[in-house]
Each structure stands twice: as structure tokens, then as C-alpha cells.
Amino acid sequence: MENPKLSVIIPCYKDKYLVNTIGSILENAVEPIEIVAVFDGFWPEFELVEDERVRYVHLGQNGGMKNAINCGMRVARGDFVMRLDEHCLFPNGFDKVLTSECQPNWILTARRFFLDPVKWEVMDLPPVDCERLTIQKDENGNELKWAGQRWRSRAKELEKEPIIESQAMQGSMWITPKKWWDSVIRELDGPGPHYGDSHEVVFKTWKAGGKLMVTKNTWFAHKHRSFPRTHSGGSPENPHKKEYWLEALAQWKDFYLEEIKKH
């Protein structure tokens, strides 16, 4: 097998749409690619895709999404690495656009559409081009967690720009040079086993002088929130806890208050 230009890391937990996602990647990639699907402490009950470009890693016990991503990154062989949810659809040539545009100190994501996973087609809804980073509060006004908020005014202002800078992203798909991951991100080590990995990679990137960018020259579609999530609330072995949100908030808040002025 030819050395891959891009390694796609997919943390998996009992989601049958993994098969569709792998199929979409293989069908639409135009450069050498590898997919590393990491089974987080379970054996799949669905039939796997057999292709020399697909590698499967089984973890003996459930360690959470962040651990699965870290494990996939350790074995990735591509010049670029992509973190991807297990229910996404791509257009033809998406990989070439992403790898050609991604700069050495960037985290790059793409225009995001919404996916109907049952019909396996893009829903008739406006896409998301950029997001503002905010601190979400509970019903009593208490600070709760980091959150991305749709930034419509900035999207409108920069609608003719093909690549724009953003403050936040959903985190379902992003790409970065493997050298940037190895030297700057290194591993996901923030609080909790499941959520917050997108904010962590952005904060670490900002701290090292890099940027979070969005390209509109390609796109992906991610499962709409109206459909069930296999990772919702974590997993039985690693349930998500509110304390993890608060720890992550405290960890980066002072840095955020200064850095957000620049972005």
C-alpha cells in the first residue's frame, strides 16, 4: 500500500453508520489515504468494510472518546491526520482540498451540512461556516461549559471569502499536519473521557501561535442532532459528568479571556 497522505482517525462506539462513513471516504478520496477505526472496548455486530486502506484497532476496554482518538493518532502514518465522527458524508475530492489548504500551524475544518443517516443524504438545511466560542450557562446563570455558537454575522460578512478564521467548531471533523499534532497537541489530556476535544485542540493551537480555519472549498455532512447518538452522555463504562465541563472551563478560562480578543 502506498504511504497515505491523510490518516482518518474514527473513534467508534456501537454506531452502525461507521460502515457508511468508511464507504463515503473510500469512494470520494482521490489521494492515498488510510482509515484507522478505533473500537472503544466493544466488538462490532455489523459487517466491516474490507479494504487495504482500512485498519481496525480494538481496545480491550472502554476508555472514552479522547483515549480512542489518542490511540488512533499513535498509529497514524499520514502526513496529515483527521479526527472524524463515525456518521459523516463527504463529496468527491474532499481530501485533496483539505490537505492542500491546511497550513503547518492550522486546525482546519470545512463547511458543515446536516446528514440524514437513514436516507444517507444531505438535509435541506443551511450549512454552518463558522462558530463563536462562548461559555454556556445553566438556567440559573451559572457558567457550565465551553460551547460553539453559530456565528451568522461573521459568516455573512465573509461570505465571499473561501477560507475564514473561526473561534470554535463542532469537532466532528478537523484536519491538521501530523507534525503539528506530534509537536503541539501531542495527546488529548483534558478533563473527562468524552467531550471537549475540539476546544482542547483549538486552545493548544492558539497557545502555540496557530489558527482554527474553515474552508468552504469542500464540505462534509454530519448526523443531525435529531437522530440518536451512541456516545450521548458518554458510555456505561465512562459516563459523562458535569464536573468534567467545569474542570475544562477552569483550565482554559484565563487564557480564553485574553486570547479571544485576538480572534
Of 83, 78, 86, the residue nearest 66 (C-alpha): 83
Q: Is the pLDDT of residue 240 over 90?
A: no
Contact 95, 6 (CB under 8 A): yes
Q: Can you tell me the distance from the alpha carbon of 236 to that of 156, in angstroms, rounded to the nearest whole number?
A: 42
Averaged pLDDT for residues 222-227 = 90
Q: Is the pLDDT of residue 216 over 70?
A: yes
Q: pLDDT (tens digit, 9 = 90+) per residue, 24-42?
A: 999 999 999 999 999 999 9
Q: pLDDT (tens digit, 9 = 90+) per residue, 148-188?
A: 999 999 999 999 999 999 999 999 999 999 999 999 999 99
Q: Is the pLDDT of residue 236 over 90?
A: no
Q: Is the pLDDT of residue 263 over 70?
A: no
Domains of the chain from N-terminus onward? 6-262 (3.90.550.10)
Q: Can you tell me the distance from the alpha carbon of 237 to that of 145, in angstroms, rounded to the nearest whole number?
A: 22
pLDDT at 33: 98
Task: Give the confidence band of 232 by pLDDT, cuts at 50, 70, 90.
Answer: low
pLDDT at 233: 67
For helices 65-75 and 197-207, give the axis angle rounded to 10 degrees.
Answer: 60
pLDDT at 259: 82
Averaged pLDDT for residues 10-24 = 96
Alpha helices (H) in 29-151, listed in sequence order: 65-75, 94-101
Q: Can you tell me the distance from the alpha carbon of 118 to that of 76, in angstroms, rounded to the nearest whole number?
A: 30
Q: Is the pLDDT of residue 229 over 80?
A: no
Q: Considering the entire predicted model, what is its pTM?
A: 0.95
CA torsion, ordered 76, 81, 87, 92, to nearest 10 deg? -120
Of 158, 163, 120, the residue nearest 23 (C-alpha): 120
Q: pLDDT (tens digit, 9 = 90+) per residue, 55-107?
A: 999 999 999 999 999 999 999 999 999 999 999 999 999 999 999 999 999 99
> Could you report how far apart the first and last alpha carbons of the chain are, in Å?
41
Name the average pLDDT for the chain: 94
Q: Is the pLDDT of residue 1 over 70?
A: no
